[in-house]
Amino acid sequence: MKLRLEMDEMWSFVRNKKTQCWLWHAINHENGDVVAYVFGTRQNEVLWKLLDLLGDINIEIVKVYSDNNFAYRDAIPHNVLETGKKNTQKIERKHLNFRTRLKRLARKTICFSKTLEMHTITFGLLINHLEFGLQLF
């Protein structure tokens, strides 16, 4: 499947404010659906995991819209990558929706996940509920 994607990263905390956790995710540029996501640090290796995940689900990337993060420039060919804020409005709006819906993603919060595993599970439940309409209870 050929897709134009928006990619970005969003920070949150696990355990306390000293332990940052980064969500790297890709959404379909056409309709805003979440295609894939991974949690980790703000290192190139985590972006490579996201790209491997996209390859595993047979996504052929036609164009990637992202911010000017160094990792994207290193991992994605220049003819595919387009940086700037003009085409990343949907993914930035997703960040706002996620932070509004899940307190542990809010910028100023006292609510933290105790483990990365619980953080990932909670966020996965949020995505399943918002993106796929799956009922949690």
53 belongs to a structural domain: yes
Helix runs in 20-88, H state only: 44-56, 70-75
Q: How many domains does the chain have?
A: 1
Residue 106 lies in a domain: yes
Structure-block tokens of residue 6: 């928006």
pLDDT of residue 107: 66
Q: Is residue 74 part of a domain?
A: yes
| Confidence at residue 81, expressed as pLDDT on a 0 to 100 scale | 94
Can you give the residue range of the structural domain that contains 80?
2-127
Q: Report pTM.
A: 0.84
Tokens of 73: 């420039």
Asked if residue 41 is part of any domain, the answer here is yes
- Is the residue at 67 inside a domain? yes
Q: How do residues 79-119 score in pLDDT, each as one tens digit?
A: 999 998 889 999 999 988 888 888 777 667 667 788 889 88
Quote the percentage of the chain above a pLDDT of 90.
37
As a three-state string, the secondary structure of 78-115 is CCCEEECCCCCHHHHHHHHHHHHHCHHHCCCCCCCECC
Query: Is residue 136 situated within a structural domain?
Result: no
| pLDDT at residue number 137 | 56
